[in-house]
Chain A
Amino acid sequence: MARLLAIGWLFHLKNLTNSLFFVLISVLQPIIFATIAFFMFRSGDRPGGLLYAALGAGLMGIWSSTLFGSGGAIQWQRWQGTLEVIVAAPARFLWVMLPLTVSTASIGLYSIVATLFWGRVFFGVPLRFEHPWLFALALPVTVLSLGLLGLVLASTFVLYRQANAFSNLLEYPIWLVTGLLVPLSLLPGWVEPLSWVLAPTWGMEAVRNAALGGEVWPGIGMCVLLGGIYLALGSLLMQNFERLARQRATLSLT
């Protein structure tokens, strides 16, 4: 199974890297948002928050690639005619889809690299991390937890004809609710409990604290915990999708 996961992840990562859409989503778009944030922070009261902005914009890119990649993961297999083959394969459907959703989050790592590079070169963002080793740990844990969240998205969105609309709709709200650029304390009080069940909130906290100083382990721990919950939920939802597709004979219907 480990071989299936590793090769599947690498294959999908290469595949996504060849997609102009995902390169734009994970490199160009975060750079644009980072630039806007840099200028806003500079002209406002937070000229020292440029690393904060670079990391936030990078995580925003990870969420975008996960949302658009994982949200349409099953539908793409359907359009490509590979869904029936995957479902009929001896390996469990879950273990075939998991590397795909994790790779959609992994491609978001380009975002972090892009925003840090862009910030350093054009805005003089200081790249001094308080806990570099914990930063190197927090980032893959965050990506993995988002990939597992992507599994839930993939198995849910496929049930709805208007899934693309969900993807378009969910980009900004999650950026906002998970505090990627705007602190949760500025938002209405009812938003905070929503943020607790979303891995990007804790991933951002871990990554930001590793870079700027603060407690890193609670964020990492919550990412691992939520990742486990997403995996269990995604497994159930994938089984549900398979069952419904067999019952209604809708596996290959686009």
Chain B
Amino acid sequence: MSPALRVFFVGGRISYRALFNWISPGMYVATMLGSPLFQILFFTYLGRYAGGQSDDFFIVGNAVQVSAMAGIYGMVMGIANERQFGTLSPLLATPANRLAIFAGRGLPFIVNGLAVSTFGFLSAWALLDFSPDPSVLPALAVVVTITVVVPDKVPPGHSPVTARPPGLSEHRRAND
């Protein structure tokens, strides 16, 4: 494995394990899974009460948005903790490829964001009767992937977190 690839994969994995505060099982389940799940439930029920849009609108919007927990909070936490623990300066002083260093640090959060969003969709399927047309699933996967990847690479506020794939506009309000 070339040095840049080693920095990318091994460095990213070590950084994630060392600097992501929410990695312990209790914290992860509560913050990365529990909180997004209840966010989806809250806004879907609020949407049912307010009317005007289907459950799908709120489920998709929130299930995509919760990836920001991993993509933005996680990445910021990783870099901020690097400074907090005093390792940022030595890191920047190394001759290692900068792109490999920071892109590698982003990769675990991208995977994590995908996992959180997927969990959100599966929870909505189990609890809120969310069942999109199978034909829109590839588009949904692309939207989630882009949403998870972009916040790690561009400043917050420029990410398409509100993007919504086509084919989910049917006015279906389950259990109304």
Given A182-B42, A182-B46: A166 and B30 interface contact (C-beta under 8 Å):
yes
Whole-angstrom distance between the Cβ of A191 and the nearest chain B Cβ: 10
* B30 x A165 contact (CB < 8 A): yes
- Residue of B24, B31, B51 near A44 (CB, 8 A) is B51
* A176 x B30 contact (CB < 8 A): no
Sample of 10 further A-B pairs with CB below 8 A, known A168-B31, A181-B46: A40-B47, A40-B52, A44-B50, A44-B51, A45-B51, A45-B52, A164-B27, A169-B35, A176-B38, A181-B49
- Residue of A40, A46, A169 near B31 (CB, 8 A) is A169
Cβ < 8 Å to B, chain A residues 130-172 = 161-162, 164-166, 168-169, 171-172
* Identity of the chain A residue whose Cβ is nearest the Cβ of B33 in the assembled complex: A169
Whole-angstrom distance between the Cβ of B53 and the nearest chain A Cβ: 7
Which residues on A sit within 8 Å (CB–CB) of B29?
165
Residue B34 at the chain A interface, CB threshold 8 Å: yes
Which residues on B sit within 8 Å (CB–CB) of A90?
none
Residue B116 at the chain A interface, CB threshold 8 Å: no
* A40 x B50 contact (CB < 8 A): yes
Whole-angstrom distance between the Cβ of A65 and the nearest chain B Cβ: 17
Which residues on B sit within 8 Å (CB–CB) of A175?
42
A192 to B117, CA, bound (A): 29
A169 to B33, CA, bound (A): 9
A179 to B115, CA, bound (A): 30
Residue A7 at the chain B interface, CB threshold 8 Å: no
28 contacts between A and B (CB under 8 A): A37-B46, A40-B47, A40-B50, A43-B52, A44-B51, A44-B52, A45-B50, A45-B51, A46-B49, A46-B50, A162-B27, A165-B26, A165-B27, A166-B30, A168-B30, A168-B35, A169-B31, A171-B35, A171-B38, A172-B38, A172-B39, A173-B38, A176-B42, A181-B49, A182-B42, A182-B45, A182-B46, A186-B45
Residue A236 at the chain B interface, CB threshold 8 Å: no
Residue A244 at the chain B interface, CB threshold 8 Å: no
| Most chain A beta-carbon contacts within 10 A, residue among B29, B46, B51 | B46
Whole-angstrom distance between the Cβ of A154 and the nearest chain B Cβ: 18
Which residues on B sit within 8 Å (CB–CB) of A165?
22, 26-27, 29-31
* Identity of the chain A residue whose Cβ is nearest the Cβ of B22 in the assembled complex: A165
* Identity of the chain B residue whose Cβ is nearest the Cβ of A165 in the assembled complex: B30
* Identity of the chain B residue whose Cβ is nearest the Cβ of A173 in the assembled complex: B38
Residue B41 at the chain A interface, CB threshold 8 Å: yes
Residue A183 at the chain B interface, CB threshold 8 Å: yes
Which residues on A sit within 8 Å (CB–CB) of B41?
172, 176
Residue B48 at the chain A interface, CB threshold 8 Å: yes
A109 to B121, CA, bound (A): 36
A43 to B58, CA, bound (A): 14
Residue A41 at the chain B interface, CB threshold 8 Å: yes
